[in-house]
Amino acid sequence: MAQPADRRAERENQILRAAVRAFSQHGYHDCTVARVAREAGVADGTLYLYFRSKEDLLVSAFRHVLEGILDRLDREMSAAADPVERLRRLVELHLQVMEDDPELASFLQFQLRQPDPAIRRAISDPLRAYARRIERAVDDGKASGVLRPEVPTRAVRRVLFGAIDETVSAWLLHGRDSPLRARAGPILDIVLNGVRAPRT
């Protein structure tokens, strides 16, 4: 007998949350589907009703997590008309989400850096969607004269995302030694204003 759609979605979300915890704690390669099932409180066979394999579970968990972050980003960024303010909100929200849930941060930073080309392809769509949020704000800033029009949009996006990514990784590796969201200001200042001292 088929499960009602809302009950099935709830169980699927339960398994995905457990997968994030299990992969974060044990690493993708050392974590088994059985361990994820135990973490979720379901039988191994039940998990296979929802996901075909460990790889499918990893990809589905990533997409689930990032789509949730994208929804929050859209709400935050749409409330700001100024493109620089939209970029500030993106950086602050990204860092706040990671600070609020270090297991989630570990999952995103370390467990998804897989050499398998199939996994990289499978997670590419939500990553591109995230990149487009940055690029739209940069293009709007260039069109309004707030940002330099000659600087390639993709270069700005790579520098900004790279700074966010490295900041979160360093925070995790060095014991979460200070509030993460507080680092948004310096990241934006360096990306938007550079490091050269003003000429007098």
Q: What is the pLDDT of residues 141-194, one digit of tens each?
A: 999 999 999 999 999 999 999 999 999 999 999 988 889 999 999 999 999 998
- Looking at domain 53-193, its CATH superfamily turns out to be Tetracycline Repressor, domain 2 (1.10.357.10)
6 C-beta neighbours (distance < 10 Å), count:
8
Give 18-52 pLDDT, tens digit per residue: 999 999 999 998 999 999 999 999 999 999 999 99
Q: Compute the distance between CA of residue 75 and CA of residue 125 in angstroms, rounded to an integer.
A: 20
Give 53-74 pLDDT, tens digit per residue: 999 999 999 999 999 999 999 9
The H-assigned helical ranges of the chain are 5-26, 33-40, 44-47, 54-78, 83-100, 102-106, 117-122, 124-143, 153-173, 184-193
Q: Give yes or no for residue 2 having a pLDDT over 70.
A: no
Q: How confident is the model at residue 76 (pLDDT cuts 50, 70, 90)?
A: very high
The residue ranges of every structural domain in the chain are 53-193
